[in-house]
Amino acid sequence: MNPRLVFRQLVIDLTAALSLLTRFPVTSQEEFQHHRGAWAWPVIGAGLGALAGILAAVSLAMTESPSIAAIVGLASLAVMTGCLHEDGWADSMDGLWGGSNIERRIKIMRDSHIGAYGATALVVILISKFAMISAIVASINPIIVFAVVGALSRAMMLLAIHIFPLARHEGLAATCGKPTREVTLWGGTLAILFSVLMLGWQAAIVIVLMGIVGTLFGFWVKQKIGGHTGDTLGATQQVAELAGLLMLAALH
């Protein structure tokens, strides 16, 4: 296999993941195949987390305030991703809780307006993450915290889109396509190895909890609307991230 071609494909896959998951301006002469480059989602998640963690660490060093560090980290992630996953979380909660049947739930989720369920869920999850990060960064480097949960939560998105069916044949999730088993294994393995490198044995507990919570959430979504959409994949990332932060807070 030509090393130049392999490297070129890796760059294309990383660029595709960056264009999908962030607001960074990305240009390429290649047509992105998101299902092929989905292995890079955890890599981008780790990178985004590292950047947010650096800003949080600087804030912590300057102010000695874990609360300010948590706010800076969360705000920087929101800016870099364009609130992509938070929007999916809010839309999902509006539809999954507010609709009386599958058709109605999906219709509500496609509505750009946020409802009471979505607004409440968004406030709750942001406050929860703020509280946990504030408690964690006093004992763990913020860069490690944000990078690890960033990688593992995107790995849960990858796993979800692979093992669960699509709820509809249009929208972001359908456009991405279903990653193969090989792509899913590569992405998951990279996320796990990175987490173990950063956290040591504690990574195992974090990985297990995030995996259980993300999978259970996926089954609940399937029961509600028959499968995943782009919004529920974003919600999966948020739920998994929250579970990871909760376990790190419990361990420290």
Count of CB atoms situated within 10 Å of the CB of 4: 8
The mean of the pLDDT values for the chain is 91
Q: Does the pLDDT at position 29 exceed 70?
A: no
Which residues, including other chains, have CB under 8 Å from residue 25's CB and lie 6 or more apart?
none
Contact 179, 161 (CB under 8 A): yes
Question: Residue 141 pLDDT more than 80?
Answer: yes
d(C-alpha 96, C-alpha 145), whole Å = 30
Task: Name the one residue in this structure whose structure tokens are 């509505």.
Answer: 111
pLDDT digits over 64-90, tens only?
Answer: 999 999 999 999 999 999 999 999 999
Per-residue pLDDT tens over the stretch 192-217: 999 999 999 999 999 999 999 999 99
Alpha-carbon span 232 to 76, nearest angstrom: 22
By mean pLDDT, which of 59-63, 226-230, 235-239, 245-249 is the weakest?
226-230
Place of tokens 């950047």: 51
- Predicted confidence band at 99 (pLDDT cuts at 50, 70, 90)? confident
Q: Where are the alpha helices (DSSP H) in the chain?
A: 3-21, 41-63, 66-81, 84-98, 102-110, 116-136, 142-163, 172-176, 181-199, 202-225, 230-251
Look up residue 43 and give its two tokens: 């890599």
CB neighbourhood size of 30 (10 A): 12
The residues near 216 (Cβ < 8 Å, ≥ 6 apart) are none
Give CA–CA dist 181/158, Å, rounded: 10
**In the structure encoding, which two tokens stand for residue 151, read together?**
């990688």
Q: Tell me the CA end-to-end span of the chain in Å, nearest whole number.
A: 46
